Amino acid sequence: MVSEDNLSLIIPTYNRHKYLYRLLTYYNKQEIEYQIIIADSSTRGKKTLNEKAISAFPKLNIKYLSFPVDIDPFRKFLEAINLVTTKYCVICADDDFITPNSMKKSIDFLQRNPEFTAVGGYYYNFIALKRGKKKKTFYWRKYLFFYKNKENYMTITSPEPKDRLSIHLANYFPTMYYVHQTDFLQMIYKEVLQNTTDVRFCEILLDMLTIIHGKIQTLDILYGARESIVISSASTYSGLAHYIKNGTYEEKFLKFRECLVNHLTKKQEITVQDAEKIINDGMEAYIQNHLAVNKKNTVNWLRMLIRMLLIKLKDFRINVSQYREFSFKKQIDLEKWNINDPPKNYLDDFNDIKETVLKML
């Protein structure tokens, strides 16, 4: 049994009651005693389904918060975080799994190393597919696998804030789902929302404030698993490429930069001009890296979506014996996904997630 009274787990959700129920099923099986805060901005009917799902797990320590359907997501996060009374806090998306083992190890690390502001581990992406009545397959791969040498920059321990900021901007990966001290998380969310309400810039600004104020540690653990779905909540928001195209990027960026310059010059003796140059150069590298990757990913996801739809159509047109002649791997284009087990040190946590997902597929 995992029993900790110094961490709260916030689960934001929006119109995805099946994912929420699946995640709560997982934590119920793990017997966690962390406080779970459900931050729900679903439509009325979906909220009813979420409340029903929550009632199925009376042993979990759940606090349910209802928000307007049109609330800004980061405003919702802040309002939930402001209600946290434990020393540590972590946000877990409703289609993610953060393992109890990794949360405990992250807290242990933060307690021993107060100069760190965020601690986590490695994520896996997964796809679970059902073929016929009985065949279920769990495919996985490392999160951010498409970035070369990304793991070399997932722990940042440079002593100077300006160096950490440069490294993180040029080799960005999101840390908003890592474990943080609650008071620090409350501070940076408040600061972010005072400077931008744009979802994309909110996420980046949170991470950059985190790295300015301290170091980031990515432990060699299976921190969590994230389902790869074609239509996710993140895909509903415009990206930086869209802002550059429609001419709104500069205004958004200048406000973003102003906030970072303010914090960086307070944390380190550096001129405003030098701080601005560091941020300008870092964002240029960030944009170049993400434009290249996002273009590639868009093509890959469209291909996957089309192939999955074709498979569904074939289910109606061919019998079982003919169906077996088709290569599932080729149809879905899963060459870069795994069905074998991960390394042994990840295996127990991996299997707990896999078992939950396949059982509920």
Using pLDDT thresholds of 50, 70 and 90, give the confidence band for residue 244: confident
Instruction: State the average pLDDT over residues 4-22.
Output: 93
Residue 251: what pLDDT?
A: 93
CA pair distance 80, 177, nearest whole angstrom: 14
Using pLDDT thresholds of 50, 70 and 90, give the confidence band for residue 131: confident
CA pair distance 6, 180, nearest whole angstrom: 11
Residue 241: what pLDDT?
A: 82
Burial letters for 274-298: b for 16+ Cβ neighbours within 10 Å, e otherwise? ebbebbeebbeebbebbeeeeeeee
What's the burial of 161, exposed, middle or buried (CB within 10 Å: 0-12/13-18/19+)? buried
- The CA-atom distances, in angstroms, between 178 and each of 10, 162, 317, 331 are 12, 21, 46, 35
Q: Which residue has the tokens 């474990």?
A: 179
Question: What tokens does 212 get?
Answer: 């300015």
Residue with the bigger pLDDT between 354 and 301: it is: 354
Residue 305: what pLDDT?
A: 45
Q: Can you give the pTM of this predicted structure?
A: 0.86
Check pLDDT > 50 for residue 10: yes
Check pLDDT > 80 for residue 242: yes
Please check whether residue 175 is in contact with residue 216, taking contact to mean a CB–CB distance below 8 angstroms.
yes
Tell me how far the alpha carbon of residue 29 is from its chain's centroid. Answer: 22
Helix, strand or coil for residue 238? coil
Percent of the chain with pLDDT over 70: 83
Range with lowest mean pLDDT among 19-23, 125-129, 301-305: 301-305
Please check whether residue 186 is in contact with residue 78, taking contact to mean a CB–CB distance below 8 angstroms.
yes
Q: Which residue has the tokens 């960030």?
A: 286
CA pair distance 20, 152, nearest whole angstrom: 33
Please check whether residue 174 is in contact with residue 134, taking contact to mean a CB–CB distance below 8 angstroms.
no
pLDDT, tens digit (0-9, with 9 covering 90-100), for 138-171: 999 988 765 567 788 999 999 999 999 999 999 9
Residue 121: what pLDDT?
A: 96
- Residue 127: CB atoms within 10 A of its CB come to 18
Please check whether residue 57 is in contact with residue 86, taking contact to mean a CB–CB distance below 8 angstroms.
no
At position 49, the amino acid (one-letter code) is: L
- What are 9's strand-pairing partners? 36, 90
Instruction: State the average pLDDT over residues 114-136.
Output: 90
pLDDT, tens digit (0-9, with 9 covering 90-100), for 25-51: 999 999 999 999 999 999 999 999 999
From start to end of 213-348, where are the E strands?
215-227
Q: Residue 165's closest CA among 211, 223, 215?
A: 211
Residue 118: what pLDDT?
A: 98
Residue 188: what pLDDT?
A: 97
User: Taking CA 113 as the corner, what is the angle to CA 110 and CA 119, rounded to the nearest 5 degrees?
Assistant: 40
Residue with the bigger pLDDT between 348 and 234: it is: 348
Please check whether residue 64 is in contact with residue 34, taking contact to mean a CB–CB distance below 8 angstroms.
no
Check pLDDT > 90 for residue 328: no
Dihedral pair phi/psi, residue 104, rounded to 5°: -65, -45
Using pLDDT thresholds of 50, 70 and 90, give the confidence band for residue 333: low
Check pLDDT > 90 for residue 194: yes
- When the pLDDT of each residue in the chain is averaged and rounded to a whole number, the result is 86
Residue 196: what pLDDT?
A: 92
Check pLDDT > 90 for residue 72: yes
Residue 331: what pLDDT?
A: 43
Please check whether residue 332 is in contact with residue 106, taking contact to mean a CB–CB distance below 8 angstroms.
no
Check pLDDT > 60 for residue 332: no
- The CA-atom distances, in angstroms, between 48 and each of 77, 89, 101 are 21, 26, 31
Range with lowest mean pLDDT among 175-179, 213-217, 244-248: 244-248
- What are 222's strand-pairing partners? 122
Check pLDDT > 90 for residue 290: no
CA pair distance 36, 43, nearest whole angstrom: 21
Residue 1: what pLDDT?
A: 39
- The CA-atom distances, in angstroms, between 354 and each of 228, 308, 341, 350 are 14, 21, 11, 6
